[in-house]
């Protein structure tokens, strides 16, 4: 075992998160435990719990890194079109591509159910900033809508896009009678916006 002085707190945290991500990618949540992570980084479980409150907290931090990766994709892949409808379509396509390319990481974000009564603010900030990307384009398309309506619309669109991801990743698009993810996404965005902006 490494001595506690061998690495700083931040270094141990980074090592633990990298080890946890590797286990999740290889075996999913079922392959993850505090003991295995501690063993992988050469520290005791007690040292691990000086940094993370519990295994739930460790998984939340892993998922936060996934949300960071997704946010970077949404904001850095290529400039969004000035036309807000096309920008929303591009954001949706980025989300779907990420879910396809990093499916194991993406699935864990939704498979893990924390035992905490409230999701920590630092985690919710990561969720909120992604919805903000959608909300600003909805506001541009429907300036007459209230903040609550914009917020709800952003989450409704996300729910639809998320559903398309599930169908695509599980190989069930054919069961739904659809062949093209792009066509389905285009239909969802354009038809939702048609109704949302006209009322």
Q: What is the CATH number of the domain that holds 6?
A: 1.10.10.60
Number of domains in the chain: 2
Question: How many C-beta atoms surround the C-beta of residue 158 within 10 A?
Answer: 16
Same domain, 36 and 72: no
- 59 part of a folded domain: no
Range of the domain at 152: 64-198
pLDDT at 119: 87
pLDDT under 70 in the chain at which residues? 1-5, 77-80
Beta-carbon contacts of residue 67 (< 8 Å; ≥ 6 apart)? 109, 123, 126, 127, 130
80: left (phi over 0), alpha (psi -120 to 50) or beta: beta
Task: Specify the 3-state DSSP secondary structure of 64.
Answer: helix
> Which one, of 88, 112, 8, lies nearest residue 51 by Cα?
8
- 189 part of a folded domain: yes
Give pTM, 2 decimals.
0.87
Same domain, 4 and 82: no
pLDDT at 155: 96
What is the CATH number for 98? 1.10.357.10
């Amino acid at each position: 075992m490494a001595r506690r002085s061998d690495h700083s707190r931040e270094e141990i945290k980074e090592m633990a998160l990298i080890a946890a991500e590797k286990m999740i990618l290889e075996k999913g949540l079922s392959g993850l435990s505090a003991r295995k992570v501690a063993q992988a980084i050469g520290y005791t479980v007690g040292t691990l719990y000086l940094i993370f409150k519990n295994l739930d907290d460790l998984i939340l931090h892993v998922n936060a890194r996934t949300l960071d990766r997704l946010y970077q994709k949404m904001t850095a892949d290529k400039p969004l079109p000035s036309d807000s409808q096309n920008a929303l379509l591009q954001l949706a396509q980025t989300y779907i591509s990420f879910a396809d390319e990093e499916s194991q990481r993406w699935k864990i974000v939704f498979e893990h159910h924390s035992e905490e009564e409230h999701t920590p603010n630092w985690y919710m900030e990561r969720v909120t900033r992604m919805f903000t990307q959608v909300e600003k384009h909805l506001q541009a398309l429907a300036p007459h809508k209230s903040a609550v309506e914009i917020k709800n619309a952003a989450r409704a669109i996300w729910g639809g896009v998320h559903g398309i991801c599930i169908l695509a990743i599980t190989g069930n698009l054919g069961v739904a009678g659809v062949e093209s993810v792009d066509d389905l996404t285009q239909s969802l965005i354009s038809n939702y916006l048609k109704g949302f902006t006209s009322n």
